[in-house]
Amino acid sequence: MSTAASGTKTIIEFDDKVVRQFLVATMVWGIVGMLVGVIIATQLAVWQANFNTSFLTFGRLRPLHTNAVIFAFVGNMVFTGVYYSLQRLCKVRMASDFLSKLHFWGWQLIIVAAAITLPLGLTRGKEYAELIWPINIAVALIWVVFAVNFFWTIAKRNEPTLYVGIWFYIATVITVAMLYIVNHLSIPTSWTHSYPIFGGVQDALVQWWYGHNAVAFFLTTPILGIMYYFLPKAAGRPVYSYRLSIVHFWSLVFLYIWAGPHHLLNTALPVWLQSLGMLFSLMLWAPSWAGMLNGLLTLRGAWHKLRTDPVLKFFAAAVTFYGMATFEGPLMSIKSVNALSHYSDWTVGHVHSGALGWNGFMTAGMVYWLAPRLWNRKLHSTQLANMHFWLGLVGILLYVAAMWMSGITQGLMLSATRESGSILAYPNFLDAVTSTMFLHHIRAGGGLLYLAGFILCGYNLWKTAWGAETVNGTMEVFVAEKRHAMGLGRGFLNAPVLYSLALVAFSIGWAALPATWGGLCIVGILATVMGAVTHKEFSGTAWSDWYEELLANSLQFSLLTALAVATGGIVQIVPTVIMQKAGNMEGVRQIPYTPLELAGRDIYVREGCYNCHSQMIRTLVGDVLRYGDYSKLGESIYDHPYQWGSKRTGPDLARLGSKYPNVWHYNHMLDPRNVSIGSTMPNYPWLFRDKTGVEALVSKIAVQKKLGVPFRETTLSEIQESCAKQAGVIAADLKTAGVETPPDREIVALIAYLQKLGRSEPVKPAPSAPPVVQR
Amino acid sequence: MNTTPDPDQIPEAPIDVEDLRPHVYDGIQEYDKRLPNWWLFTLYGTIVFVVGYWAIMHTMGLASDPGAKVTEQIMAARAAAVKNSPEINDAKLWAMSKDPAVVATGKQIFDTMCASCHRPDLMGMIGPNLRDQQWVFGGAPMVAVKTITEGVLLKGMPAWGPILGQEKVSQAAAYIFSFHTEGEAVEIKPWVPVGVPGLPAPAVPASTAAPGAPPGTAQ
């Protein structure tokens, strides 16, 4: 609450040109990303759609689809919404037109670079973090450009306090930077290749801390900010509840960051981390629904407008899908539900009810609302927009229902047993593939309908904008001369903050410390809660006044947000990273790769095999019966990047080595249907043509050694000799089986790697270090 | 009566000014309504569950080691399966090989699990020919059951016992021996694997290697 101060009135013009640019980019990349989605969905149903061509295979196109939809489609959509609403909520033009331009063109250049490199097989091999290191640096730099422009604009604002939409934008800008940088730490081996500095379980944990929060802070928080601006604008109704906004924001950003390990349930990840992942996901249910409530209840008094206004139709459906997906998410994070759902199509359905329902429909609503305002012309056709809505809705429902049925069928079939639970009911993995095949056709059809809707949207936008006069918003603003600023300390040294900090600290202490200290922490928790409740009773409106004051001070607000989002990652990741590797092995240690096997592994990563195959046998009866003894932490200790995977379109490969003869792999990679009738895996003819890049191994092995992997060979001649020897043995074995191949081909290196999978040696248990956290 | 009034004619519900906050952001107003009870109950409920779960599973240490648990489950299941499965011998297997129903089931198993190495006609490829009278280990049905159950790991044949179970292994064996007669003369001879017939040399594009290419003369 600022006091009336002296100042001047002036008229400002907003930079809406960059908004228009981002809006057009959203539509273009959206259609491209969805088109690739339809192509890869078709490939899963009809393997011939891989066209025996390296850059068109599923393993290379799926990263293109996910990256395009997340960073190109939703990314541009977020920037559209942020640039439009931020200027108006701050009553100021963007701080720097140059930075806005740099942001726009830099981001588009990054997208083009991604669209070229990913099909070429240039990848880091981690989901949604596939882009190679030079592009990573570009992303980080452009994000900083955005952040500077963003915070500078906030600093220049003519609006004393920050609206709830901006809170969510602030959380996005800070957290995405933190997540992106940590998960992309790698050491280059060439201009196009690098190894992540984390390996095995550490890499898995960092990856899903990032991966889950890409969903949270790239696909959720900025869209919530956009919802808080565009939905009440379109409905012409007040936001339902300011105090719900406060609870919503702080609980969501604090809790979300802890939930990453729910992607690693029933794996070799230490149990305490699995439990944290599950429990924080359950606690996310109510905060997520707070967002849904603030969206849907804002529509009270405006529901009748849905019949005629496509904008509100899209928003209402989007918020409903958000509510559905954020209920389904906690459900799937329950360990026993996850045992069924994980690695199956259910996860794919879940993520698409978020992406198509929440992100896609929010985008469509925003586009239809913005277009007439940015081009000063009535929307070309409301009917087409309505048609888009129904096409999209039917598309999503077909898609999601098909994936639910398919996922549950896969989960049930692959874990079903007979003969007292000692035998798998469906020992052939392909049974689950063929049983769900027709559902994959339906899924592709649903995706196609959804894409058709967006093409209509693009056409509608084009007809509206083409030849229309562009218009930049203007506003008469009151420029105050001086604003009341609160001291930096008052942001933190305040009752609500201190009580919250104490509560979090005592709770972590209770969960992590041995009994005596844990007991003291319980006393601390009770004292904090009682103190806080009593204090609040007696302080009257002091706490809400402090919060209003905080909203007028963006620096303190941003620092508190950063503190809230950093806590979870620190508690989960730091112990795992600093724990000695020896303490992390569970009695076995992976046998390090030979140079040829490493080359083969890099081929495996290049082809994106992890998109369909896991390397993690979970502690579940179905998994152990099918694939062998459950995976131990030590078995992937030298894997940079880790390849545990997240989806089993094909079977797990953690113990594939020695399961089949070399010639089986040879025939299988040439055409999987040679040996697996009904397989939908693509053919890999180029592996039989191209030569293994032995020279590149020198710098690769140097980097691996730097990361702690014990390689014996270091010089080029040593590496060449080792590769030639091992390749010769495999080629000779293939010859006795009747096929001849030159030993320098990639297929030989890949066979060497596949035959190595699952090789480990026993180790003595490490001298027991005190456990960081009790299990 | 007109049942669908023109939406434009519906009067806008009045905005309840009582809960309205004074500040307006770019035309956006905010209510300050209290949080719905059911929502608060959900929030507190999950927190109580979380505290209880952690207290029981981790503070009190009742969470079992998942690895040890799954191993135990499988050992128990295998022990129960051994106890429950009937005894088999050569005579029973020969009898099964003459039962059309058993042979049909066995053929199904063979076609999905075995044919990729032994060929659908049993004439041998990566794995040996199972139709002739030459055997690697011996011509008695129980020898075949043992080989199928335990596999020949060095030659790349997996142990099918833990995958198929005794019943299905016996049925697959019965199918194989439906091509044989009890007491026929057999010869013990190692098998030299042969490549997939019709597969091209590596330089030839894969498109010519049509799946299910006709058997060649590699025998």
Query: What pLDDT shows up at residue B9?
Result: 62
- Examine the domain organization and report whether A594 and A741 are in the same domain: yes
Whether omega for the bond prior to residue B100 falls within 30 degrees of 0, making it cis, is: no
Nearest CA in chain A to B219: A738
Cross-strand pairs, A475: A12
Cα(A263)–Cα(A204) distance, integer angstroms: 9
Question: Which distant-in-sequence residues (6+ apart) come within 8 Å of A653 by Cβ?
Answer: A609, A613, A614, A615, A754, A757
* Residue A763 in this model has a pLDDT that exceeds 90: no
Mean per-residue pLDDT of chain B = 82
CB-closest option in B35, B54, B156 to A243: B35
Is residue A184, in this structure, part of any structural domain at all? no
Q: Is B11 on the interface with A (CB under 8 A)?
A: no
Dump pLDDT digits (tens) for A638-672: 999 999 999 999 999 999 998 889 999 999 999 99
What are the tokens at A503? 């509560």
Cross-strand pairs, A691: A745
What are the tokens at A85? 């609403």
Cross-strand pairs, B135: B188
Distances (CA, A) of A658 to A693, A703, A752, B156: 25, 28, 10, 7
Q: Is B65 on the interface with A (CB under 8 A)?
A: yes
What are the tokens at A667? 């025939």
Nearest CA in chain A to B169: A423
Query: What pLDDT shows up at residue A5?
Result: 52
Residues in chain A with CB shorter than 8 Å from the CB of B170 are: none
Tokens 């899908």 sit on residue = A321
Residue A477, phi then psi, degrees to nearest 5: -120, 155
Best mutation target, B12, B19, B69, B70, to test chain A (most A CBs within 10 A): B70
Q: Tell if the CB–CB gap between A275 and B61 is shorter than 8 Å.
A: no
Cross-strand pairs, A417: A424
- Examine the domain organization and report whether A559 and A643 are in the same domain: no
Chosen domain end from A525, A559, A584: A584
Q: Tell if the CB–CB gap between A290 and B36 is shorter than 8 Å.
A: no
Q: Tell if the CB–CB gap between A283 and B46 is shorter than 8 Å.
A: yes
- Examine the domain organization and report whether A592 and A687 are in the same domain: yes
CB-closest option in B30, B46, B67 to A282: B46
Q: Tell if the CB–CB gap between A664 and B126 is shorter than 8 Å.
A: yes
Q: Tell if the CB–CB gap between A419 and B167 is shorter than 8 Å.
A: yes
Is residue A321, in this structure, part of any structural domain at all? no
Cα(A645)–Cα(A654) distance, integer angstroms: 10
Dump pLDDT digits (tens) for A41-62: 999 999 999 999 999 999 999 9
Is residue A526, in this structure, part of any structural domain at all? yes
Q: Is B193 on the interface with A (CB under 8 A)?
A: yes
* Residue A287 in this model has a pLDDT that exceeds 70: yes
The residue ranking higher by pLDDT, A519 or B38, is B38
Tokens 């032994």 sit on residue = B118
- DSSP summary character for residue A467: T
- Calculate mean pLDDT across residues A363-380: 96
Q: How many domains does chain A fold into?
A: 2
- Calculate mean pLDDT across residues A630-642: 94
Q: How confident is the model at residue B6 (pLDDT cuts 50, 70, 90)?
A: low
Q: Tell if the CB–CB gap between A419 and B84 is shorter than 8 Å.
A: yes
Over chain B, what HEC string results?
Answer: CCCCCCHHHCCCCCCCHHHECCCCECCECEEECCCCHHHHHHHHHHHHHHHHHHHHHHHCCCCCCHHHHHHHHHHHHHHHHHHHCCCCCHHHHHHHCCCHHHHHHHHHHHHHHHHHHHCCCCCCCCCCCCCCCEECCCCCHHHHHHHHHHCEHHHCECCCHHHHHHHHHHHHHHHHHCCCCCCCCCEECCCCCCCCCCCCCCCCCHHHCCCCCCCCCCC
Dump pLDDT digits (tens) for B62-116: 888 999 999 999 999 988 988 888 888 999 999 999 999 999 999 999 998 899 8
- Examine the domain organization and report whether A555 and A610 are in the same domain: no
The CATH number of whichever domain residue A613 belongs to comes to 1.10.760.10
Q: How confident is the model at residue B199 (pLDDT cuts 50, 70, 90)?
A: very low
- Examine the domain organization and report whether A689 and A754 are in the same domain: yes
Residues in chain B with CB shorter than 8 Å from the CB of A247 are: 35
Cross-strand pairs, A477: A10
Ordered by where they begin, the domains of chain B are 90-197 (1.10.760.10)
- Please give the interface size between A and B, counted as residue pairs whose CB atoms are below 8 Å apart: 241
* Residue A267 in this model has a pLDDT that exceeds 90: yes
Closest Cα partner for A184 from A255, A234, A135, A227? A135
- Residue ranges of B 74-93 with Cβ closer than 8 A to chain A: 74, 77-78, 80-81, 84-85
What dihedral do alpha carbons A198, A202, A205, A210 form, nearest 10°? -20
* Residue A3 in this model has a pLDDT that exceeds 60: no
Query: What pLDDT shows up at residue B11?
Result: 63
Pairing assessment for the beta strands B134-135 and B187-188 based on DSSP bridges: parallel
- Examine the domain organization and report whether A558 and A596 are in the same domain: no
Is residue A262, in this structure, part of any structural domain at all? no
Query: What pLDDT shows up at residue B5?
Result: 56
Question: To the nearest whole angstrom, how far is the Cα of A174 from the nearest Cα of chain B?
Answer: 23
Query: What pLDDT shows up at residue B211?
Result: 37
Is residue A20, in this structure, part of any structural domain at all? no
Query: What pLDDT shows up at residue B193?
Result: 80
What are the tokens at A128? 């949604």
Q: Is B57 on the interface with A (CB under 8 A)?
A: yes
Query: What pLDDT shows up at residue A583?
Result: 60
DSSP A115-158: HHHTTTT---SSTT--S-HHHHHHHHHHHHHHHHHHHHHHHT-S
Structural domain boundaries, residue A563? 488-584
- Examine the domain organization and report whether A628 and A679 are in the same domain: yes
- Examine the domain organization and report whether A624 and A716 are in the same domain: yes
* Residue B172 in this model has a pLDDT that exceeds 50: yes
- Examine the domain organization and report whether A612 and A752 are in the same domain: yes
Residues in chain A with CB shorter than 8 Å from the CB of B154 are: none
Cα(A542)–Cα(A532) distance, integer angstroms: 13
- Examine the domain organization and report whether A548 and A680 are in the same domain: no
ipTM value, please give it: 0.92
Q: Tell if the CB–CB gap between A737 and B195 is shorter than 8 Å.
A: yes
Q: Tell if the CB–CB gap between B67 and A511 is shorter than 8 Å.
A: no
Is residue A733, in this structure, part of any structural domain at all? yes
Q: How confident is the model at residue A278 (pLDDT cuts 50, 70, 90)?
A: very high
Q: What is the CA radius of gyration of chain B?
A: 34
Chosen domain end from A564, A584, A604: A584
Best mutation target, B56, B166, B196, to test chain A (most A CBs within 10 A): B196
Is residue A127, in this structure, part of any structural domain at all? no
Q: What pTM does this model have?
A: 0.90
Closest Cα partner for A77 from A34, A136, A134, A38? A34
Closest Cα partner for A598 from A686, A722, A489? A722
Question: To the nearest whole angstrom, how far is the Cα of B183 from the nearest Cα of chain A?
Answer: 32
Strands (E), A481-602: 588-590
Chosen domain end from A556, A584, A612: A584
Is residue A417, in this structure, part of any structural domain at all? no
Cross-strand pairs, A589: A761
Q: Tell if the CB–CB gap between B32 and A308 is shorter than 8 Å.
A: no
Q: Residues of chain A with pLDDT > 90: what percent?
A: 86
Question: Which distant-in-sequence residues (6+ apart) come within 8 Å of A514 by Cβ?
Answer: A774
Query: What pLDDT shows up at residue B7?
Result: 53
What are the tokens at A700? 């690769």
Question: To the nearest whole angstrom, how far is the Cα of B20 from the nearest Cα of chain A?
Answer: 8
- Examine the domain organization and report whether A514 and A567 are in the same domain: yes
The residue ranking higher by pLDDT, A542 or B43, is B43
Q: Is B166 on the interface with A (CB under 8 A)?
A: yes
Question: Which distant-in-sequence residues (6+ apart) come within 8 Å of A656 by Cβ?
Answer: A754, A755, A757, A758
- Calculate mean pLDDT across residues A467-496: 85
- Examine the domain organization and report whether A572 and A697 are in the same domain: no
Q: Residues of chain A with pLDDT > 70: what percent?
A: 97
Q: Which helix (H) or strand (E) holds A80?
A: helix A75-89
Closest Cα partner for A586 from A624, A636, A623, A627? A636
Dump pLDDT digits (tens) for B113-156: 899 889 999 998 889 999 999 999 988 999 999 999 999 887 87
Residues in chain A with CB shorter than 8 Å from the CB of B117 are: 664, 675
Nearest CA in chain B to A620: B70
Mean per-residue pLDDT of chain A = 93
Instruction: Count CB neighbours of A389 within 10 A.
Output: 22
* Residue A156 in this model has a pLDDT that exceeds 60: yes
